[in-house]
């Protein structure tokens, strides 16, 4: 084979992976809108309920020993419930209220400029040798700012790297890996925590009607995961990404200016506000008879009010920043920020309506419980128990993540099946949720269906005009693989040590007979 033929063969091999990903993108773009998907899922649940009922399908509850038959939702009573309870299904949908309340505070903090200034200060204020770690750390924690990480931190990473003589795409890749690949990890609670906890609780109550999943269900594990991902991300950047990209010859770029005077004033005001909030929280929780302790001295009221506390915790620093920086001049500005945030939640509200109907139908029909009992029995029959069965659940989540990007949309479908299934096998809903969050994160950076992928390509084309999707995916694949392997191994170690996933969130579940 001649040299030219070898080059052509090698070129074809290099082009194979982008072609496969392009094909996945085309297939993925043919999927209906998530709202339509949930309506189709709801219709499917209705039809399956009727078929299963006609076939006499049932399962025996492993705790009570009672038969659980499939319920026909297309008979007279079922149709009446579908029509009469549509509104209550929606208003009673657990994630809806928690997310909207939390977003009131998050919206003010984001729209006032606090998040953007805070990210800039965090990354621009560190020495050059810590730049990669700071970018990934800021990126992992950027989920607290909803979309600010994509909009602010990713282009900022490229500019900062160019300004210190390193390849800007390496900075872009490091920030993107943190923002998207480490989406579930965080040192703070974010809007994702109450959202997933609400869905997990809905699913758990299919099996145990009184089960409660706290917002802090995975906090300890996700806090520790933040530092794991930073270490792994730094290693991938230094050993794989930057050597592969080589030097950047298009000339240096002036690094971002330092924080403006008004931004510094805003951050100082926000910092003082946060310090006062911490002191207030300590006053409300530390004393034995503190207002946020119950009559037995436990902190249940504090954890139950976490969503409200999160909203206040973001709202007040955002307000302080805006007043000091001049982005808030009157109550009209605050109201406008909240309105703008809530208007952006329209798609979520629509999705929540469709998802709430599907969850309700799944519960009414007993299909989720029957599938869970049957699935658990099949898994037990294969001999797969313990850590292996939980670990195998993670790649399943990541595979689905390649085609359906929404974390809540996937969990609303998967939770009602797998949460009760693993409860029957003795694993807590909090553990199942943690496994799901791992699988839902590390493939975000390699799926063409990720909503911000076109934006990332646009950022990259500023430095490499001919760059395409395949190049971005090839650049991000090492992060995805490294995050997957290290995070799963870390999860296994956590299980072996028997550590709690969050405050009061144990690994196992012990069914109590009714």
- Per DSSP, the residues of 220-264 read HHHHHHHHHHHHHHHHHIIIIIHHHH----S---PPPPPPPHHHH
Instruction: Find out whether 142 and 238 touch, Cβ atoms under 8 Å.
Output: no
Instruction: Find out whether 501 and 217 touch, Cβ atoms under 8 Å.
Output: yes
Within a 13 Å sphere around the CA of 429, how many CA atoms are in the beta-carbon half?
Answer: 31
In a domain, 18, yes or no: no
In a domain, 506, yes or no: no
Of residues 331 and 35, the one with the higher pLDDT is: 331
Mean pLDDT of 23-27: 53
pTM above 0.75, yes or no: no
Which domain does 408 fall in, by range?
24-497
- 316-368: per-residue pLDDT in tens? 999 999 999 999 999 999 999 999 988 877 877 887 898 889 888 988 998 87
- 415-445: per-residue pLDDT in tens? 888 899 899 888 999 999 999 999 999 998 9
In a domain, 150, yes or no: yes
Asked whether the predicted pLDDT for residue 303 surpasses 90, the reply is no
d(CA 48, CA 56): 12
Tokens for 143, please give them: 């989920």
In a domain, 509, yes or no: no
Mean pLDDT of 183-187: 91
Mean pLDDT of 483-508: 94
First to last CA, the chain: 74
Going by C-beta distance under 8 Å and a sequence separation of 6 or more, which residues neighbour residue 80?
A: none
Q: Indicate the number of domains in the chain.
A: 1
Of residues 359 and 502, the one with the higher pLDDT is: 502
Mean pLDDT of 248-261: 64
What Rg do the C-alpha atoms of the chain give, in angstroms?
24
In a domain, 7, yes or no: no
d(CA 410, CA 412): 5
In a domain, 387, yes or no: yes
Give the CA angle between residues 451, 453, 454 to the nearest 5°.
95
- 209-220: per-residue pLDDT in tens? 989 999 999 999
- What local confidence, expressed as pLDDT, does residue 25 receive? 46
Tokens for 99, please give them: 């997310």
Q: What is the dihedral of CA 70, 73, 75, 76, to 10 degrees?
A: 130
Among 127-141, 170-184, 451-465, 477-491, the minimum mean pLDDT is found in 451-465
Asked whether the predicted pLDDT for residue 241 surpasses 70, the reply is yes
In a domain, 371, yes or no: yes
Q: For residue 68, what is the enclosing H or E element?
A: strand 67-69
């Amino acid at each position: 084979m001649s040299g030219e033929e070898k080059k052509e063969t090698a070129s074809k091999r290099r082009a194979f992976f982008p072609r496969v990903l392009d094909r996945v993108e085309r297939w993925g773009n043919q999927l209906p809108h998530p709202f339509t998907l949930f309506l189709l899922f709801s219709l499917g649940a209705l039809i399956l309920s009727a078929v299963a009922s006609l076939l006499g399908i049932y399962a025996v509850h492993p705790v009570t020993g009672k038969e659980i038959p499939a319920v026909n939702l297309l008979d007279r009573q079922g149709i009446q419930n579908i029509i009469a309870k549509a509104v209550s299904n929606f208003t009673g949908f657990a994630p809806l209220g928690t997310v909207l309340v939390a977003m009131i505070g998050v919206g003010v903090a984001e729209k006032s400029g606090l998040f953007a200034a805070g990210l800039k200060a965090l990354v621009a204020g560190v020495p050059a040798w810590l730049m990669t770690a700071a970018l990934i750390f800021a990126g992992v924690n950027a989920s607290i700012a909803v979309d600010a990480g994509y909009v602010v931190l990713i282009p900022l990473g490229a500019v900062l790297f160019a300004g210190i003589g390193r390849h800007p795409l390496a900075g872009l890749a490091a920030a993107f890996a943190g923002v998207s690949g480490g989406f579930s990890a965080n040192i703070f609670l974010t809007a994702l925590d109450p959202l997933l906890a609400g869905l997990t609780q809905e699913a758990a109550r299919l099996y145990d009607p009184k089960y409660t999943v706290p917002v802090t269900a995975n906090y300890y594990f996700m806090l520790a995961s933040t530092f794991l991902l930073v270490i792994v991300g730094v290693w991938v950047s230094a050993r794989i990404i930057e050597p592969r990209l080589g030097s950047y010859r298009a000339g240096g770029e002036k690094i971002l200016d330092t924080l403006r005077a008004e931004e510094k004033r805003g951050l100082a005001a926000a910092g003082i506000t946060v310090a006062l909030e911490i002191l207030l929280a300590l006053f409300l929780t530390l004393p034995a008879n503190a207002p946020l302790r119950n009559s037995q001295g436990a902190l249940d009221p504090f954890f139950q009010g976490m969503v409200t506390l999160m909203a206040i915790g973001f709202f007040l620093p955002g307000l302080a920043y805006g007043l000091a920086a001049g982005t808030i001049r009157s109550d009209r500005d605050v109201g406008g920020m909240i309105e703008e945030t809530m208007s952006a939640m329209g798609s979520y509200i629509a999705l929540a309506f469709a998802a709430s109907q599907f969850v309700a139908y799944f519960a009414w029909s007993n299909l989720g419980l029957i599938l869970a009992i049957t699935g658990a029995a099949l898994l037990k029959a294969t001999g797969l128990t313990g850590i292996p069965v939980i670990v195998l659940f993670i790649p399943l989540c990541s595979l689905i993540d390649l085609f359906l990007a929404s974390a809540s949309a996937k969990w609303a479908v998967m939770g009602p099946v797998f949460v009760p299934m693993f409860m029957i096998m003795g694993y807590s809903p909090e553990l199942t949720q943690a496994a799901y969050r791992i699988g839902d994160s590390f493939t975000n950076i390699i799926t063409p269906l990720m909503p911000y992928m076109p934006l990332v390509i646009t950022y990259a084309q500023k430095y490499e005009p001919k760059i395409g999707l395949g190049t971005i995916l090839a650049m991000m694949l090492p992060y995805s693989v490294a995050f997957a392997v290290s995070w799963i191994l870390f999860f296994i170690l956590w299980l072996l040590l028997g550590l709690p996933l969050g405050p009061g969130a144990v690994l196992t579940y012990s069914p109590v007979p009714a």
